Amino acid sequence: MDAFYASAEQAAKPSLRGKPVVVGGLGPRGVVATASYEARRFGVHSAMPMAQARRLAPNAAYLVPRFALYRSVSDQVMELLGRLSPLVEPLSLDEAFVDLEAGSMADDAASALEIGRQLREAIEAVTGLSGSVGLAGSKMLAKIASEEAKPDGIRLIEPGTERDMLAPMPVRTLPGVGPATADHLRRAGMTTVDDLAEAGEAELVRLLGKAHGGSLHRMAFGYDDRPVVAERDAKSVSVEDTFDTDLHDRVRVRTEVERLADRCVQRLRAAGRSGRTVVLKVRRYDFSTLTRSETLRGPTDDPAVVREAAARLLESVDTTGGVRLLGVGVTGLADFTQEDLFAQAAGERAAAALPGGPDERPEKAADSREGRPEPEPGPEAAEQPAARRWPAGHDVRHDVHGHGWVQGSGVGRVTVRFEEPGSEPGRVRTFRIDDPALRPADPLPLVREPPDYSSWPASLPKSRSGAGAPGAESSP
């Protein structure tokens, strides 16, 4: 997909179409997740510190990511890809490999190009967004072709042309060549893919080791035999937050851990899963990162159980000096829960910690928030910055004005632009942050009534053998 997060925001917000948009963390430590092509003209790019992006493009719209929207669009795209082949390997929300041979959908360059053309049309019709397609005989070359096709294009690398096409490209083009490896190769006089091919395998093995050197030599000639691997079940679910300023108040730290635990369970339930190991991640003021985990007696999706486990794990972590990042995750995923067993296990652990032992345990005190007093909020918790309550770019609904999105907030006020996907650019209004008529809302679909592609790709060219029809309808 092309500049996926930013393009989705432009499609959702008519007033931002054709304008520079930057999506990422907006705090002092934030980084750019995606920049629209309009913002890229100013030099803004992914992974850039947000402060630097603001200096380069001060008039761009800076928005906090809306992953619920991005996931819903990604699901639509992946469903279309699954109709082309049973082998679809997602790399991220906006990128995937598809093995067309496994779907018997193409047997020559012309039919492959037609598949790519119709796929792009289908993606735009269903999501309202553009994507770029790369077609080649291997994963490495298809990836390169898709980058060459951006934005909103299609590129085919014909068999037999790989070597000539790769030769002038920089070594960073190849998978596994990061900044350090590229610098090492540069010092050895190799800056292009052709340099790697000419150096020979023995020299690359001497410089980089047998596995890495041999792999790069093969890739320099266009060889890549890695298979497309169908999507596997997620092994964990986690959430984390980086804070604008280090947290020093222990009560605030615990409050944030419990909030993250609730968000983690929401994701767990959305995926229809449960888990038995709770993991806590703490990055301290000095960038040292600690992880703690607790394996329970069975899988659960009970938010009270995950909160209590995460809070217990926090007790074993020294937060003196401040905390810059917190994360809560659940691993050991399953498709079922054992609620009674979990509640009993949590109760037993809490009871064992009491001075009088299990018989003096307050009823249900360890099973939920009910039965235990809430801690007094510290000064950091009491402030609750408006930026956290009303993130820039997120959806809201007003009882009178309808659906809109947050343009900014602060000093007790929140500014909202009222518009929807497909509408004309909307009006801007400002409210108190505690206005009872204003509340957070879920994202609206980018395409109100997407066309029905349930029978697609019946019209696509099939293999001459005719063997591809059943496989073309398989899911990944």
By annotation, the residues acting in catalysis are 95
Name which of 151, 129, 149 is nearest 141 in CA terms: 149
Size of the chain, expressed as the number of residues it contains: 476
Q: How far apart are CA 51 and CA 102, in angstroms?
A: 46
Element (H, E) at 314: helix 303-315
Task: For 329, list phi and psi in degrees, rounded to 5.
Answer: -135, 165
Largest CA distance in the chain: 78
Using alpha carbons, list the distances in angstroms from residue 178 to 46, 90, 183, 217.
16, 21, 9, 16
Whether residue 276 contacts residue 298, with contact meaning beta carbons closer than 8 Å, is answered with: yes
Which residue blocks in 150-230 are alpha helix, DSSP H? 162-166, 179-187, 193-199, 201-208, 210-220
Give dist(CA 452, CA 278) in Å, integer: 41
Give the amino acid at 32. Answer: V
Return the C-alpha torsion angle 419, 420, 421, 423, nearest 10.
Answer: -60
Q: Sheet harboring 402-410: ordered strands across?
A: 427-432, 413-418, 402-410, 395-398, 438-440
SS3 state at 12: helix
- Strand, coil or helix: 232: coil
CA-wise closest residue to 443 among 394, 398, 408 = 394
CA distance 153 to 473: 25
